Amino acid sequence: MAPTDPEQSAPSSRRSRIAVAGASGLIGTALTRALADDGHEVVRLVRRAPRTQQEVRWDPKKGYVDTAELAGCDAVVNLAGAGIGDRRWTDAYKQELRDSRVLGTTTLAEAAASLDEPPRVFLCASAIGYYGDTGQRAVDESAPSGEGFLPSLCVEWEGAAAAAHTAGIRTVFARNGLVVAREGGAWQRMFPLFKAGLGGRLGDGRQYWSYISLHDAVAALRHLLDTESLAGPVNLTAPDPLTNREVTAAMGRVLRRPTLFAAPAPALRVVLGEMAGDVLGSQRVLPTRLLESGFSFAFPGIEETLRAALR
């Protein structure tokens, strides 16, 4: 039987000290809770003065982290970054998206590399935006980067971890898909609309969405931390990407609401600006390396993923 708690994941047999940047975000909150529940010591990186012994001061824009407090960490996890969909992509916000990822990753990678006893793994979030618009073509980790703002951002983001890799630290990039959860991300906005009967497809609905449940996203991150054979990019997406039209139909079935409304592509471009390309673009991304490493999805299908999020 599948787990009922989307934040629960299988415990690791080894108790570790793990530093996490971005611990207050959607995935970070669920990950730190799951790790702490299993007895791991979680050290949260914060931008203010630390209030407990489990907090470490850092300032990614200034390239500062209290390196002494990272000593003894078995792993450093970087999930920090401004929200992709939080604001319209002005030039200023695009710079914020870049700086929050690239500067933070550089800071943490260099800090980890400088330790007398470096962590055994540096796990950095990335995104399937790396691949750009793949259309109907399915891609996995062997595919090259795409074109546009998000692909170039992801390339630079992952490249910022070079210091950790050069120091011999196992460095892994979790290329996250669309995380299905009520607490954040795209579905936080979509669920109320669909519950009100106002949901519908975006554009023509033929674009592929590569999604993953919050439970499986957390479980996959823990799998990456524990699996010594994994390094480099790993896609965190469910094994069967669906079109926006198919996801919309599933939302209607699960919530028992009509899905008659549609957002025309021209209107989305007016409202969202450059970000509309990401919403209307198609990303059919497969988790090849995750599956080959023995990972098992608790919620591989869209309807069970939606029901898990609603629970």
Closest CA to 122 of 136, 114, 112: 112
pLDDT digits (tens, 9 = 90+) for 12-38: 456 899 999 999 999 999 999 999 999
Residue 266 confidence (pLDDT) above 80? no
- Average per-residue pLDDT for the chain: 90
pLDDT digits (tens, 9 = 90+) for 65-82: 999 999 999 999 999 999
Reported confidence tier of residue 109, pLDDT bands at 50, 70, 90: very high
Quote the pTM value: 0.91
Residue 10 confidence (pLDDT): 40
pLDDT digits (tens, 9 = 90+) for 198-251: 888 888 899 999 999 999 999 999 999 999 999 999 999 999 999 999 999 999
More confident residue, 90 or 122: 122
Residue 77 confidence (pLDDT): 98
Residue 279 confidence (pLDDT): 58
pLDDT digits (tens, 9 = 90+) for 52-62: 989 999 999 99
Residue 232 confidence (pLDDT): 98
Residue 241 confidence (pLDDT): 97
Query: Is residue 274 within 8 Å of 212, Cβ to Cβ?
Result: no
DSSP string, the chain: ---S-TT--PPPSS--EEEEESTTSHHHHHHHHHHHHTT-EEEEEESS---STTEEEEEGGGTEE-GGGGTT-SEEEE-----TTSS---HHHHHHHHHHHHHHHHHHHHHHHHSSS--SEEEEEEEGGGG---TT-EE-TTSPP-SSHHHHHHHHHHHTTHHHHHTT-EEEEEEE-EEE-SSSHHHHHHHHHHHTT----BTTS-SEE-EEEHHHHHHHHHHHHH-TT--EEEEES-SS-EEHHHHHHHHHHHHT------B-HHHHHHHHGGGHHHHHS--EE--HHHHHTT---S--SHHHHHHHHH-
Residue 277 confidence (pLDDT): 58
From the CB of residue 190, how many other CB atoms can be counted at a distance below 10 Å? 17
Structure tokens at 137: 């073509």
What amino acid occupies position 124? Answer: C
pLDDT digits (tens, 9 = 90+) for 278-307: 656 899 999 999 999 999 999 999 999 999
> Positive or negative, the Cα torsion across 303, 309, 31, 139?
positive
Residue 5 confidence (pLDDT): 45
Reported confidence tier of residue 262, pLDDT bands at 50, 70, 90: confident
Residue 3 confidence (pLDDT) above 50? no
> Positive or negative, the Cα torsion across 38, 121, 172, 103?
positive
Lowest-confidence range among 86-95, 131-140, 270-279?
270-279
Residue 140 confidence (pLDDT) above 60? yes
Residue 310 confidence (pLDDT): 96
Lowest-confidence range among 8-12, 164-168, 245-249?
8-12
- 17-310, which class in CATH? alpha beta
Residue 261 confidence (pLDDT): 84
